[in-house]
Structure 1
Amino acid sequence: MDVEMADIEKTIHTKENTICIFGTGDFGRSLGYKLLQVGYNVVFGSRSQDSTPLLPKGVEIMDYGEAAQRSSIIVLAIHREHYYFLTNLSHILNGKVLVDVSNNQKVNQYPESNAQFLAQLVPNAKVVKAFNTVSAWSLQSGLLDASRQVFVCGDDSNSKRLVMDVACRLGLTPLDQGSLLVAGELENYALHLFPMWRLPFFISIGLTAFFFFYCLITDVIYTSIKEGKDYSFLIAVSITNRVFPIVSLTLLALVYLPGIIAAFVQLYRGTKYRRFPHWLDRWMLCRKQLGLIALGYAFLHAIYTLIIPIRVYVRWWHNNYLISQVRENKTYEELNTTLAWYSDIYMSLGILGFGLLILLGITSLPSVSNAVNWREFHFVQSKLGHVTLLFCTAHTLIYGWNYFFDIHYYAWCLPPAGTLSLIIPCTVLVLKFFLITPCIDRKLTKIRQGWERSPKHRK
């Protein structure tokens, strides 16, 4: 009797420690290899029982029905189009945990999610959606260069717990997303291509195109028509190096403008318990991406600025200037200390602004932001962020102070591009200064702490 009980317990333990995988494709093979590494027994179910050298050593391969009987957890590493054969195995799959890892070719490809479709085909099985956001490549690379998050959903809590335990043993971080109704969102999530970057990308491309053509008109086309000179070579470096800092400064200002608008909305409404308009919500959610793109443009501006001394046009102008000085027998004039101060302050503000912008970018990385508390993160991203915007705006102001208000620099009555770049940053700084005045800041703090204006006076 004791021997029989021991055999039964051994069989149960073996079954619990065995994972069945339907499908021998890339994902199935990668998952099987990873499961073997962490101590699971792996059995593959396939249409063909011929051994393949691509499968990891130590696994068994057999037909679907026999493989399903060997484990209580079955991972379906097959496409939705091939699910129909499971109806013939419904008597074997009763009570089994079916883990659906499939994705579709496009968002909302079918009326119901793949996991819900599977639950309809095998109603007595316990369907769990999981691992669809993990790629075969990330499993093969040891999860060192990929996201460790695994989204899990299902209607049976015990089944979800079993699947989450498997994910933990694989070194992944399972996140319970709720019932099987969420499966559609998880399948769509895997198909999204940088969803939070689309709006910032289009904004940056739009600003780049606008200022590029604006500078093209004022610096090349205007000179060609009015003076008959060809300055089209300026497009490659000069105009590009003017557009990059302008777009960077504008994007940095757009990072902090929605927060200021939100503050004025709360002051106007007298409460924080009302949702912002949809466009403002969406704008605020993409501030991190706007800031990182601004950093990228600033970095390109710094690189382009470093190559200015080796440009042919700059060397030609400098050599001609020296030759003209020699021909006219002129000596160096006394150093203009005002111009020296002007130049050094301009460059110093640019370096400080760029350095702080790099700091903002570093602290926005998850690995860094997770290592600081909320107050430290808020201090860097908000307080130092506005200081960064102030330095960068001052850098632009000092650079263009001599020609911003000089009518001779206006081509066809169009102001220099640098003047336009100051509109949004200066607006943000002025409004921020208004909000931090004691009387306004005190009222805004009360609202954000839960105070509400009386209903009859609330907007």
Structure 2
Amino acid sequence: MSEEVKLECVPLCSVSMPASPKQEVLCIFGTGDFGRSLGQRLLQSGYKVVYGSRRPHSCGPLPSGTQVMSHEAAAQTANLVFICVHRDHYNFLETLAPQLRGKVLVDVSNNLKKNQYPEANAEYLQRLVPGAHVVKSFNTLSAWALQNGPSDANRQVYLCGNNTEAKQLVTEAATKLGFSVLDRGSLSAATELEDFPLQLFPEWRLPIALAIGLTATFFFYLVIRDVVYAYVVQEKDISFRIMVSLANKVFPIVSLIMLSLCYLPGLIAAFLQLHRGTKYKRFPDWLDRWMLCRKQLGLLALAFAFLHVLYTLIIPIRYYVRYKIGASTISKIKENKTSEFDTTVAWRTDSYYSMGILGFGLYLLLGISSLPSVSNALSWREFSFIQSKLGYLTLFFCTFHTYLYGWNRFLYVSSYKWYTPPGYMLCLVLPTVVLVLRLLLLLPCVDRSLIRIRQGWERANPEDVSRKTLLT
């Protein structure tokens, strides 16, 4: 008989029987930050908590209402024991194997880096105490999350283990604490769970890399067009404009491109379905990854738009702007000249600002609706309406805002310094393509075909049709 089979034969010592008629006793090994926070949450949920410590009389302050005793004594008080100590200190558990036989041990430990040990901490714990039932869980939570209660960002608890009854006991405890539980299977999944807290923005890597790449590309492009060109051709030093003016050109450019990239993969997927005549074929891996990071792309686009708004608001108080206004006013006074009011310019500037304000307002609405606390309160139709319908409207307003900014400058040769187009002109290419493709999908004939495909209709394969014809 293998060791794994032997583990299943060990009885779970009265797992479903509480230690007392009113309060079930749970044990915690470890009196650190996590152990204290966990004990406080368990007390608030109606459990009686007993701590096991190697120094019962000098372990520091613990939550009021708990007991502390030696590990051996504490292990005998409860059927569920939380192991809140580091893997390096697991050796003492081997000597407690008789007291822990048939108990449920919840391993909450994590490592400092991936692949730090040849086996997962939970598997190592199971090997040290073969008579116990080890469950890996609660390791994705922090002491702060336990102290403040589950929030939208950390409401889920993962667990894995080889014993179904043991996992059920841990699930009940987690549910009473206010967490939702996701079972990841047997204890062999412990390595995956222990790697979760070590991940650093895994879903944000591609969007962040894209944002950095676009920012760097357009920054150096505009430095060459504006600053270097002025210094070489016009013999002017305007390098001071890098800090505000140049940055305020880069931010909206990157924001508009990234907003377009949020909606482009959905359009590509729609045209792929139309081309294939079915929705049951998988998209390419690159398109799947692109579609999964659309939320992150949108939030980064909102961040760049917000920076653009802030930089725009400080422009009137800049020294350079105040100097130019003052110099222009004094020059006109000396020459006894006045400027006539241009209604066309007034319409253009007001429309330009109006489109920008509307676009940014819808931008904020998209960002707010993506928050879990808000999206959970919306139905799927409401969420889809905001993110899709209003999202394309946001893209339209922001694109129109940029077109009004450029107005008729594309007609002037002076706009093409060193034969290069302005940055705003380059950033208009992608959003314009996205809006045109979206308009094509809205055509009645195309829209009807796409709806039928997404409802399960499939275009017949010509080979299948010819084969059926031959058979009949």
What is the TM-score of this pair, normalised by structure 1? 0.92
1:31 maps to 2:38: yes
Q: Which residue of structure 1 aligns with residue 453 of structure 2?
A: 447
Match of 1:366 among 367, 372, 376: 372
Other structure's SS at 2:183 match: strand
Match of 2:175 in 1: 168
Residue 161 of structure 2 contacts residue 167 of structure 2 at CA under 8 Å; is this kept in 1?
A: yes
Match of 2:206 among 199, 202, 210: 199
- Residue among 67, 76, 97 paired with 2:74: 67
Measure, in 1, the Cα distance between the counterparts of 2:149 and 2:276: 52
Pick one of 340, 343, 355 that aligns with 2:349: 343
Could you tell me how far 1:24 is from its partner in structure 2?
1.8
Structure 1 counterpart of 2:332 = 325
Unaligned runs of 5+ residues in structure 2 are 1-15, 465-472
Structure 1: distance between partners of 2:46 and 2:349: 66
2:203, 2:296 within 8 Å by CA — same for their partners in 1? yes
Indicate whether 1:263 and 2:270 are aligned: yes
Partner secondary structure for residue 284 of structure 1: helix
Cα displacement (A) at 1:28: 1.3
Query: Per-residue deviation at 1:146?
Result: 6.2
- Residue ranges of structure 1 left out of the alignment (5+ in a row): 1-8
CA contact (8 A) 2:149 2:178 kept: no
Pairwise CA RMSD: 2.1
Identify the residue that residue 88 of structure 2 maps to in structure 1: 81
Question: 2:352 and 2:18 mapped to 1: Cα distance?
Answer: 77
User: Deviations 1:40-73 (Å, cap 9, x if unpaired)?
Assistant: 2222222223243322333333322222111101
Query: CA separation in 1, counterparts of 2:396 and 2:307?
Result: 20
**C-alpha separation between the residues in 2 aligned to 1:109 and 1:457?**
55
Give the 3 Å change call, closer, same or farther, for CA 374–115 of structure 1 in structure 2: same
Cα deviation for residue 258 of structure 1 reads 0.8
- What pairs with 1:124-135 in structure 2 (closer than 5 Å)? 124-135=131-142
Provide the C-alpha distance between the structure 1 equivalents of 2:22 and 2:344, rounded to a whole number of angstroms: 84
Which residue among 410, 415, 424 is the counterpart of 1:409?
Answer: 415
Q: In the alignment, which of 101, 104, 111 is matched to residue 104 of structure 1?
A: 111
Q: Does 1:154 align with 2:161?
A: yes
Which segment drifts farther, 95-104 or 84-93? Answer: 84-93
Give the Å deviation of 1:14: 6.7
| Structure 1 counterpart of 2:232, from 210, 225, 231 | 225
8 Å CA contact 2:152–2:372 kept in 1: the answer is: no
- C-alpha contact 2:355 2:398 (8 A) present in aligned 1: yes
Q: Secondary structure at the match of 1:276?
A: coil
How far has the Cα of 1:183 moved from its partner? 2.1
- Using the TM superposition, give the Cα deviation of residue 215 of structure 1 relative to its aligned residue in structure 2, in angstroms: 0.8
Q: Give yes or no for contact 2:156–2:182 (8 Å, CA) kept in 1.
A: yes
Tell me which amino acid in the other structure corresponds to 1:438: P
Deviation at 1:151, TM superposition (A): 1.6
**CA offsets, 1:361-403, max 9 Å, x none?**
1111111111111111111111111111011101101111222
**CA shift for structure 1 position 438:** 1.5
Using the alignment, how far apart are the partners of 2:250 and 2:377 within structure 1? 35
The answer as to whether partners of 1:76 and 1:101 remain within 8 angstroms in 2 is yes
Shift of 1:88: 2.4
TM-score, with normalisation over the residues of structure 2? 0.90
Aligned to 2:426: 420
Range with greater deviation from structure 2 (283-292 or 405-414) = 405-414
Q: How many equivalent pairs are there?
A: 449
Q: Offset of 1:351 from its aligned partner? A: 0.8
Runs of 4+ deviating beyond 6 Å: none
Tell whether 2:406 aligns with 1:385.
no
Closer, same or farther in 2 for the Cα pair 1:206/1:121, shift >3 Å?
Answer: same
| Shift of residue 456, structure 1, vs aligned partner | 4.7
